[in-house]
Amino acid sequence: MSLTEKIKKVLLVDDDVDLLEQNKLIMESKGFEVVTAESAKEGFETFKTEKPDACVVDLIMEHHDSGFVLCHRIKGTEEGKTTPVFILTSATYETGFKFNANTDEEKNWIKADGILNKPVVVEELLSKLENYLQV
């Protein structure tokens, strides 16, 4: 079973509309159905109504921690416990601080299954999804 057969719907959440549309087009070209949201609040509502198979969430939106808060809210739902959620961030380039979600402890603290740096490399995202889901 290929990754696109296993994961059909991906939720992308980012307040940068240009980047959101760019990533949506790239993911759709790889065979995914993509739903989008432009804020953490809209992202959580979209998560509840659309029930995506995976989520990619920007870290800094309305607030510096909006992505962390959204991941925490998603992972706090019954569906979210088994939905892979990845944080997309440019914070490493801007601050030099590198976020990780490599260990179970980091994943539990951050409430995300992985961290991706902007600009997103689709192959890296697909690889993380494949590794997480063991496709």
Give the domain ranges of the chain: 3-133
* Dihedral pair phi/psi, residue 116, rounded to 5°: -125, 140
- The CATH number, out of the four listed (3.40.640.10, 3.40.50.2300, 1.10.1060.10, 3.30.450.40), of the domain defined by the range 3-133: 3.40.50.2300
Tens of pLDDT, residue by residue over 100-130, are 555 565 556 567 888 888 777 778 887 877 7
Tens of pLDDT, residue by residue over 36-82, are 999 999 999 999 999 999 999 998 898 888 888 999 999 999 999 99
- Is the model's pTM score more than 0.85? no
Tens of pLDDT, residue by residue over 87-105, are 888 755 554 555 555 556 5
* Percent of the chain scoring above 70 in pLDDT: 76
Tens of pLDDT, residue by residue over 13-38, are 999 999 899 889 988 888 889 999 99
CB 9 within 8 A of CB 53: yes
What's the pLDDT at 2?
63
What's the pLDDT at 1?
56
Helical H segments across 30-121, by residue range: 40-50, 66-75, 91-95, 104-110
